[in-house]
Structure 1
Amino acid sequence: MTTFYPVANFDRKSFSNATLILPAVSLGNVPQLTSDLLITSLGLRRIGYVGLGDTVAPFSGKGDDGEIVTGGLEVYGNEGSELYVIQQRSPTLKTKKDEHVELIRQFIASSSFGLVLILTSLDAANQDDAQLLTPHQRILPPSSSSSSHKTLQTLENTLPPLQLNIDSDFPTTGSSSSSVYPPFLPAAGLTRRLLSTLKDSSIPHGAITAWCVEGDNSGDAMSLAQVVLRLLGIDDHVQLQQPKSWEGLFGTVNGWSGGAGQDSELYG
């Protein structure tokens, strides 16, 4: 089954052993904003689509260079590069969740990626006091192959494992939730399903979580993007750049509040 539709004669053999950054639509759209930053800062170009866009809410608009961008699963990178990024600009349709996850699974399975990193955001209302000092955590499968992959080794050594203390109303309760995989993830969208579908695959994978609240989440995205660059070992060589599409994203530059930045009454 064809799941990837390349543009400009892109050769999908370039995916072999490369790293795929996969954002999960979650609280504050922090993963999508992070993908924006990575695409712009690394000079990545759209090289294809996963699926026909029928699993997400219809959307189209103009990109930074005047091109048409969609809400579907767009893949960015450069032929022969070692990093590719998926961007999804509109939410997954509720009736298409299973189909959406299966589409991603088939794309990953047929592309021979060397590593898949899922980015997700979590509701900070579930954050404990200790995690206030550690805004990012890692999720690795119990039978993680991190010992054989340099980036996952770095992930394991850099970020603490996600620990959740969830009320008993939830299916994975208390501190024992760390023994359940994938764990319950508050406000993380389809992250659990994505981790579940990759759990039994031979492709090395893991997730990076970011605690946040809804508002001006550009700072959260900048912080998460820095974590990704550090894990990839290129943080000293890349200067993060905000895309043009962010202008006015969280309010006008000269807001009616009288401030010099975003409208503080709206976004704090």
Structure 2
Amino acid sequence: MKDIWEHGSLRGRWDISQESFQDSIFVFPVVSIGNVPQLAVDLLLENFSFQPVGILDSSALVPFFGHGALKGPYSITTALQVFWLERAPDNANIVCIQARTPPSKGFAKLFVEEIISLVNLWKPRLAVFLTSFSALSIIPGGVVQPGQFKVIRTAVSENAVEVNPDAIECVGLEYFEGDKFSLFGKFWDKLKSSSSLPCCVTALGMHVYEGDNTNDAIHYFTKLCNFLRLPNVPNDESVKLPESWSCII
């Protein structure tokens, strides 16, 4: 690996120069209900030509080691890995951090600061944070009404021309402020209060139940692809599922 970087307890090793990440779209799935953002990113990596370009190591996270989403030298995954999609010159490249585990107890604030330090270092055009909320929080009793199920919502900056806001239901910023005690809530509070971020910031959220979230992940993935203006998005029947989803280690 070419480059080694360290910030506090976060260390990174890269196959490409971090300057490549400038003016890209930064995508980060926050560990949340049903792990739907992580599953959607797995599908993103599996169905498009993302390249594994780096490994991150944070002492703030619960350690993880398992069967990865891709084959080859990166077939073993850790808690944080970096993937890169280079696109045509008229489209922003995409850098994605796949996160597998939540912070250890008492380390959430540190982890939030570490990820935001990467945003400040890489200077993307747009940072997109992915999350999922409990369906139990929509209305009393946790019953999802028609029109609410599988709706992906976003808060998009007016300057975020790199994405397609029409692909997803746009809502006010307050939609993402409901659960201040979740990991995403800590990210959102920090992002809102930061005046020095070098880019626009938005979030995508979806209400889900815990359980088999495969179909939720496929739907989330499809909407995310359309939001990111990715071409040739597979339909629900042709989405390729990662081998790691069926492997037991």
Range of TM-score over shorter length: 0.7 to 0.9
Amino acid paired to 1:136: I
- In structure 2, the residue matched to 1:104 is 115
Q: 1:94 aligns with which of 105, 108, 111?
A: 105
- In structure 1, the residue matched to 2:51 is 45
Question: Equivalent residues in 2 for 1:109-148 (5 A)?
Answer: 109-128=120-139, 129=145, 131-133=147-149, 135-140=151-156, 146-148=157-159
Is 1:208 aligned with 2:204? yes
RMSD, matched Cα: 2.7
Q: Could you say what secondary structure the match of 2:148 adopts?
A: helix
Give yes or no for contact 2:167–2:226 (8 Å, CA) kept in 1.
no
Give yes or no for contact 1:117–1:205 (8 Å, CA) kept in 2.
yes
1:199-237 Cα offsets, whole Å, 9 max, x none, are 232411111111100111011111111111101222535
Give yes or no for contact 1:28–1:214 (8 Å, CA) kept in 2.
yes
- Identity over aligned pairs, percent: 24
Aligned length: 223
Structure-1-length-normalised TM-score: 0.74
TM-superposed CA distance for 1:12, in Å, is 0.9
- In structure 2, the residue matched to 1:2 is 6
| Closer, same or farther: CA 89–233 of 1 in aligned 2, 3 Å | same
| Closer, same or farther: CA 16–223 of 1 in aligned 2, 3 Å | same
Q: Could you say what secondary structure the match of 1:211 adopts?
A: strand
- In structure 2, the residue matched to 1:218 is 214
Rg comparison, structure with higher value:
1
TM-superposed CA distance for 1:45, in Å, is 2.4
Q: Provide the rounded CA distance (Å) in 2 between the counterparts of 1:134 and 1:237.
A: 18
Moved more, 92-101 or 23-32: 92-101
TM-superposed CA distance for 1:184, in Å, is 1.6
Give yes or no for contact 2:26–2:96 (8 Å, CA) kept in 1.
yes
| Closer, same or farther: CA 224–248 of 1 in aligned 2, 3 Å | same
Moved more, 85-94 or 189-198: 189-198
1:31-82 Cα offsets, whole Å, 9 max, x none, are 11011111111122221133x23111111123241532112x2111146770
Give yes or no for contact 2:66–2:77 (8 Å, CA) kept in 1.
yes
1:102-124 Cα offsets, whole Å, 9 max, x none, are 10010110101111111100111
Q: Is there any run of 5+ residues in structure 2 with no aligned partner, and where?
A: 140-144
Is 1:77 aligned with 2:84? yes
Q: Could you say what secondary structure the match of 1:108 adopts?
A: helix
Q: Could you say what secondary structure the match of 1:150 adopts?
A: coil
1:152-201 Cα offsets, whole Å, 9 max, x none, are 5x3267413169xxxxxxxxxxxxxx3xx851238x83112212222232
Q: Is there any run of 5+ residues in structure 1 with no aligned partner, and where?
A: 141-145, 164-177, 250-268
Question: Equivalent residues in 2 for 1:51-70 (5 A)?
Answer: 52-63=57-68, 64-65=70-71, 67-70=75-78
Give yes or no for contact 2:61–2:102 (8 Å, CA) kept in 1.
yes
Moved more, 52-61 or 205-214: 52-61
Moved more, 57-66 or 15-24: 57-66
Q: Provide the rounded CA distance (Å) in 1 between the counterparts of 2:231 and 2:241.
A: 16
Amino acid paired to 1:196: D
Moved more, 38-47 or 240-249: 240-249
